[in-house]
Amino acid sequence: MRGVPRVLGLLALVLLVAAAGFAALVFFVLLFSTEGSGELIATLVALAFSLLVLGAGIWGLRRAPRRGDRARPPAGGTVTPEL
């Protein structure tokens, strides 16, 4: 059962990245169609926040353990004598 939470976490991160990427795209398009300065500032703030969330999601996906990763041995390690 240890794999189920990890898969659900990865799925949540993928969905977060997809949603934040879509939101960033929408706010980027809105950036060029705003007319007032108040709308421009609000769009810039929303775009910055969505890019921040997108970056955090990508960072989380890059730090997630891979399928074949195992714990690395200590730096000194143990030396096994060859016979």
The reported pTM is 0.71
pLDDT at 80: 65
Q: Which pLDDT tens digit goes with each residue over 19-73?
A: 999 999 999 999 888 888 888 899 999 999 999 999 999 999 898 877 666 655 5
Quote helix, strand, coil % in the chain, to nearest 5: 70, 0, 30
**Cα 64 from Cα 15, distance rounded (Å):** 15
pLDDT at 36: 83
The phi-psi region of residue 80 (left if phi > 0; otherwise alpha if psi is between -120 and 50; otherwise beta) is: beta
pLDDT at 52: 96
State the alpha helices, DSSP H only, in the chain: 3-33, 37-63
**Cα 47 from Cα 45, distance rounded (Å):** 5
CA angle 54, 3, 9 (to 5 degrees): 20
Does 76 have pLDDT greater than 90?
A: no
